Amino acid sequence: MGIYLLKRFFILLLTLLLVSMAIFAVLLVIPSDPAQIILGIHATPETLQTLRSQLGLDRPVHLRYLSYMKNLALGDLGHSITYDIPISALIFSRLQVTIPLAIFSMIFAIVVSIPMGIYSSLHRNRMGDYGIMIFSQIGLAVPAFWAGILLILLFAVTLHWLPAGGFQPWQVDPIKTFKSLLLPALSLGMVRAAVLTRMTRSSMLEVLGEDYIRTAQSKGLPKRWVIYKHALRNAIIPVVTIVGLQAGDLLAGAIIIENVFHLPGVGRLVFEAIGQRDLPVIQGVVLLIAMMIVVINFVMDVAYRYLDPRIRYE
Amino acid sequence: MSREKRFSPFRNINFTMGLWITLAILLIALLSLGYTPFDPNRMNLSMRFQAPNSNHWLGTDQYGRDILSRVMKGAVNSMIVGVVAVSIGMGFGIFLGSLAAFYKKWVDETIMRISDVLYGFPAVLSAILITSILGPGVVNSMMAIGIFNIPIFARLTRATSLSVWERDFVASAKAIGRSDAEIVWKHILPNILSPLIVQGTVQFAIAILAEAGLSYLGLGTQPPHASWGRMLQEAQTFMGTSPWLAIFPGCAIALAVLGFNLLGDGLRDMLDPKLARIQQRI
């Protein structure tokens, strides 16, 4: 176990290093000059050159990368050109929107999908099963941002139950904040719910056909006990992995959803930064999302092996 | 004497439904190349915000443009993006995956590690990053989605062709002096085509979704050209008074994605008998 963890951790570090290099390299190609953005189009060549030197843009690429990594290790992601504040502070303030959004949508997806997947597997090839499978196919086909627009149309424009967009800080009015995150979380969670329902159903069907389930049934154990104690405990393992993989997609999906609902989250920040050519912010946000995805995958991989003792630590 | 059941792909409901839906969308896309009820880009301010009626079946938008004609033109856009993005992904992915499976060792390790990094990156994020570098536009969005597809096909090609390289007929081909490139082309690729086709249909659906998302953000197809995602973005401002603007382009996206997803599911059931048997058992 120890060696396996060490090996996985080494791969994690290597992946993070590759990701940081890839993002740094990709953003070097962007046709924009941070000095020009800061000083505007009327800046003289001399002032532009001076600022480029101050920002270190005239240094060789490898030195810029090394100093970027050194600052990164100290938690310094640089300064935003547009907002003129440290990027880490900027991202941190935006995370109070994105993290609850991702958590709410994942909770919604899990709460809806696991009972539906179990029901569907226990009523295979019956009306309920067909209904749930049709729902999941539709859930996979509907883009989250269109679901968001339809939800706004129904709950905000027609029924006036929930706000169509915007966000208030948690400290001001937590109930209002919760309400403003409800529709975005539903639209983001719907697609995840469809995937998890299919996964739970197929995983349950596979486990229900195993010998030990038949043994448990023949021992006369109550049906509920067999389903929840024996079948679900084993069927849930691959579902946990998918939940982990979905976490990365959730963060990326938030970019579009935050734009639909005008939420000032990390997704909207990166989108605005692209428009403003705020290179350090793009670099910081993309690196953060990538790091989160890599770390979540690592945790899920370890959790998967912990949950399923049949998997060897090679 | 019992009559043996004849194989018919149309017994598979997923395949049949998926095929009909995708064929319908393809036909609409082809039809719109020569005919649309109205010019999809022609503005007619006297006909703004018309609700669906006998003249404009799906209504008109804020510039008086016919929604049905724009939805039809949007189908062409989505199909082209799907074809180009999947072709880029398949072309480069198969090439890199084959290299990894053939050379193994450090070539395999390098290609797979780079694939892992790219694979871990969500499609939308990669596409946004790439279009932000290359600039917005339909060509760049196709390239961005295509680049995201490369590691998917590279991993699949490598995984499926590794076992084919160990088969006897490959050893025989080597023994009679066939070149490596010839073996890959004539023996390896035909044997790994089924999973690649299935993955191709799935990626086609994902490409349609990704293009719609990029166009919604203003990074994909640019105005005045019709794109389902762009239409939804424009509709959002007026959906309180003209909800049809937000309904029909979304239905078109959902239907197209549903069609390709069902087709992919159906093809997988038919082309992967092992998986089909498992599914029959459960």
Assess if residue A32 is contained within a domain. no
pLDDT number for residue B3:
54
CA distance B146 to A269: 25
ipTM of the complex: 0.86
Assess if residue A249 is contained within a domain. yes
Q: Rounded to whole angstroms, what are the CA distances from B8 to A211, B12, B273?
A: 34, 8, 14
The answer to whether the beta carbons of residues A263 and A167 sit under 8 Å apart is yes
- Measured between CA atoms, the residue of chain A closest to residue B210 is A143
Q: Residue B281 — pLDDT band, cuts 50, 70, 90? A: very low
Query: Shortest CA distance to A226 belongs to which of A236, A242, A214?
Result: A214
- List pLDDT tens digits, range A174-232: 899 999 999 999 999 998 899 899 889 988 988 888 888 889 888 888 888 888 888 88
pLDDT number for residue B72:
96
Q: What integer is the mean pLDDT of A235-242?
A: 81
pLDDT number for residue A249:
76
Q: Residue B87 — pLDDT band, cuts 50, 70, 90? A: very high
Q: Residue A120 — pLDDT band, cuts 50, 70, 90? A: very high
Q: What integer is the mean pLDDT of B19-36?
A: 96
> In this model, does residue B279 exceed pLDDT 70?
no
Assess if residue A170 is contained within a domain. yes
Q: Residue A61 — pLDDT band, cuts 50, 70, 90? A: confident
Parent domain of A241? 94-307
Number of domains in chain A: 1
Query: Shortest CA distance to B192 belongs to which of B139, B232, B153?
Result: B153
Strand partners, A86: A79
> Cα–chain-centroid distance for residue B154?
17
The answer to whether the beta carbons of residues B250 and A150 sit under 8 Å apart is yes
In the block, which residue shows the tokens 């008109």?
B60
With CB atoms and an 8 Å threshold, state whether B122 touches A146: no
With CB atoms and an 8 Å threshold, state whether A202 touches B282: yes
Which has more confidence, A198 or B280?
Answer: A198
Shortest Cα distance, chain B CAs vs residue A259, angstroms:
8
Assess if residue A243 is contained within a domain. yes
> In this model, does residue B267 exceed pLDDT 80?
yes
The answer to whether the beta carbons of residues B47 and B25 sit under 8 Å apart is no
Which has more confidence, A73 or A148?
Answer: A148
The answer to whether the beta carbons of residues B145 and B92 sit under 8 Å apart is no
Judging contacts by C-beta atoms under 8 Å, the chain A residues touching residue B247 are: 150
Assess if residue A89 is contained within a domain. no
> By the CB < 8 Å criterion, does B114 face chain A?
yes
Q: Rounded to whole angstroms, what are the CA distances from A212 to A6, A217, A221, A222?
A: 35, 9, 12, 14
> In this model, does residue B10 exceed pLDDT 80?
no
The answer to whether the beta carbons of residues B136 and B219 sit under 8 Å apart is yes
With CB atoms and an 8 Å threshold, state whether B122 touches A249: yes
Mean pLDDT of the residues in chain B: 86
The answer to whether the beta carbons of residues B168 and B251 sit under 8 Å apart is no
Assess if residue A25 is contained within a domain. no
Q: Residue B35 — pLDDT band, cuts 50, 70, 90? A: very high
Q: Give one DSSP letter per residue of B20-42, joined into a string.
A: HHHHHHHHHHHHHHH--SS-TT-
Separation of first and last alpha carbons in chain A: 9
Assess if residue A193 is contained within a domain. yes
Shortest Cα distance, chain B CAs vs residue A123, angstroms:
12
Q: What integer is the mean pLDDT of B80-108?
A: 91
Q: Give which of B25, B78, B125 to mutate to test A binding, by max A Cβ within 10 Å.
A: B125
The answer to whether the beta carbons of residues B206 and B123 sit under 8 Å apart is yes
Read off the DSSP letter of residue B217: T
CA distance A142 to A135: 11
> In this model, does residue B17 exceed pLDDT 80?
yes
- List pLDDT tens digits, range A75-118: 888 888 888 899 999 999 999 899 999 999 999 999 999 999 99
Most confident of A227-236, A283-292, B31-40, B136-145: B31-40
Shortest Cα distance, chain B CAs vs residue A305, angstroms:
20
CA distance A1 to B130: 39
> By the CB < 8 Å criterion, does B125 face chain A?
yes
Contacts of residue B47, defined as CB under 8 A and 6 or more positions apart, other chains included, come to B56, B60, B64
The answer to whether the beta carbons of residues B68 and B57 sit under 8 Å apart is yes
The answer to whether the beta carbons of residues A271 and B217 sit under 8 Å apart is yes
* Domains of chain B, each with CATH number or no CATH: 15-24+56-281 (1.10.3720.10)
The answer to whether the beta carbons of residues A109 and A193 sit under 8 Å apart is yes
CA distance B178 to B192: 19
- Measured between CA atoms, the residue of chain A closest to residue B122 is A249
Judging contacts by C-beta atoms under 8 Å, the chain B residues touching residue A145 are: 212-213, 216, 232
Assess if residue A1 is contained within a domain. no
With CB atoms and an 8 Å threshold, state whether A289 touches B125: yes
pLDDT number for residue B6:
63
In the block, which residue shows the tokens 């995708």?
B22
Judging contacts by C-beta atoms under 8 Å, the chain B residues touching residue A141 are: 205, 253-255, 257-258, 261
Kindly report the CATH number assigned to the domain that includes residue A104: 1.10.3720.10
Collapsing DSSP to helix, strand or coil, B60 comes out as strand
Mean pLDDT of the residues in chain A: 85
With CB atoms and an 8 Å threshold, state whether A252 touches B281: no
Q: Give which of A274, A276, A285, A299 to mutate to test B binding, by max B Cβ within 10 Å.
A: A274
> In this model, does residue B1 exceed pLDDT 70?
no
Q: What is the largest CA-CA distance in chain B?
A: 76
Q: What integer is the mean pLDDT of B135-161?
A: 88
The answer to whether the beta carbons of residues B71 and B248 sit under 8 Å apart is yes
Q: Give one DSSP letter per residue of A127-143, joined into a string.
A: HHHHHHHHHHHHHHHS-
The pair of structure tokens assigned to B115 is 């694939």
Read off the DSSP letter of residue B5: P
Separation of first and last alpha carbons in chain B: 30
Contacts of residue A222, defined as CB under 8 A and 6 or more positions apart, other chains included, come to none
Question: What residue type is assigned to position B19 of the chain?
Answer: L
Please tell me whether the peptide bond between B224 and the residue prior to it is cis, using omega within 30 degrees of 0: yes
Contacts of residue B48, defined as CB under 8 A and 6 or more positions apart, other chains included, come to B60, B61, B62, B63, B64
Reported residue count of chain A is 314
Angle in degrees, CA A243, A234, A1, rounded to 5: 80
Q: Give one DSSP letter per residue of A53-110, joined into a string.
A: HHHTTTS-HHHHHHHHHHHHHTT---B-TTT-SBHHHHHHHHHHHHHHHHHHHHHHHH
Nearest to A286 among B125, B217, B240 (CB): B125
- Measured between CA atoms, the residue of chain B closest to residue A19 is B117
Query: What are the phi and psi torsion angles at A159 (to 5°)?
Result: -90, -15
With CB atoms and an 8 Å threshold, state whether A138 touches B254: yes
The pTM score is: 0.86
Query: What are the phi and psi torsion angles at A79 (to 5°)?
Result: -115, 140
Q: Residue A309 — pLDDT band, cuts 50, 70, 90? A: low
- Measured between CA atoms, the residue of chain B closest to residue A277 is B132
Which of A151-165, A299-313, B58-72 has the least mean pLDDT? A299-313
Shortest Cα distance, chain A CAs vs residue B224, angstroms:
20
